[in-house]
Amino acid sequence: MKTDDLVTLLATGAAAVEPDAMARRYATALGWGAFGATLLMAILLGVRPDIAAAARLPMFWIKLAFPASVALASLFAASRLSRPGARLGWTPSALAAPVLAMWLLTAYVLLGAPAPERAGLVMGRTSEYCLFDIPMLSLPVLVATVWVMKGLAPTRLALAGAAAGLLAGAIGALVYALHCPEMEAPFVGVWYVAGMLIPAAAGALLGPIMLRW
């Protein structure tokens, strides 16, 4: 087939494209992914029994706000990386900001605590669960986000995969925070960050394999 004929074939009957098609796909994927993560958490781990009492403490909300802001920033990064030629712009700073804020809070808490207690504040009692459960809860969003990206056009595949993984990890951490009994900033600053980075690294490895087009 000559190229001109292919042009005619492609243009014939080409209907209008919905301008918000991309945003709607991301919204659908995140909705189902977050629902799946919440369901997994409720069935396999359970909501922490003292959640009503915990919700009166500021740390409970900081523990939610931190992954929520990482999720929002990585959603912006992922959607930009899904468009050919779109610049990342301010999204790396938006990703770094909540992590730096969490680390500042971590440093503040550690410096204010007596030296023998510091290790305990960082290690908590559930760090190994955190490292396993956050990546596990990130799976529904990871699958959904990769599915969305496959229908778009990422050109930097490892970076796009990493953004998808970080988005999934952040939603996984957000949902995990409803189960997790730890209430110290140093624990969140270390283990939540590590838990979110595991799916991000997996995404960076999977991207070049899964996202080709």
| Binding residues for other proteins (CB under 8 A) | 1-4, 6-19, 21-22, 82-86, 152-153, 155, 212-213
| 176 vs 169: CA distance, rounded Å | 10
CB 77 to other proteins: min, Å: 15
Rounded CA separation 132/207 (Å): 22
**Neighbour tally for 166: CB within 10 Å:** 28
Choice between 49 and 85, CB closer to other proteins:
85
Closer Cβ to other proteins, 81 or 193, answer by number = 81
Name the DSSP class of 211.
S
Q: Give the whole-angstrom CA distance, residue 182 versus residue 125.
A: 8
Nearest approach, Cβ of residue 12 and other proteins (Å)? 5
- Tell me the DSSP string of 145-189: HHHHHHTS--SSHHHHHHHHHHHHHHHHHHHHTTT-----HHHII
Q: Which residue is associated with the tokens 């301010």?
A: 90
Query: What minimum distance in Å lies between the beta carbon of 132 and other proteins?
Result: 35
Smallest separation (angstroms) from other proteins to the CB of 153: 4
Name the minimum Å distance from CB 18 to other proteins: 7
Compare residues 86 and 100 and give the one whose CB is closer to other proteins: 86
**In this structure, what DSSP letter does residue 15 have?**
P
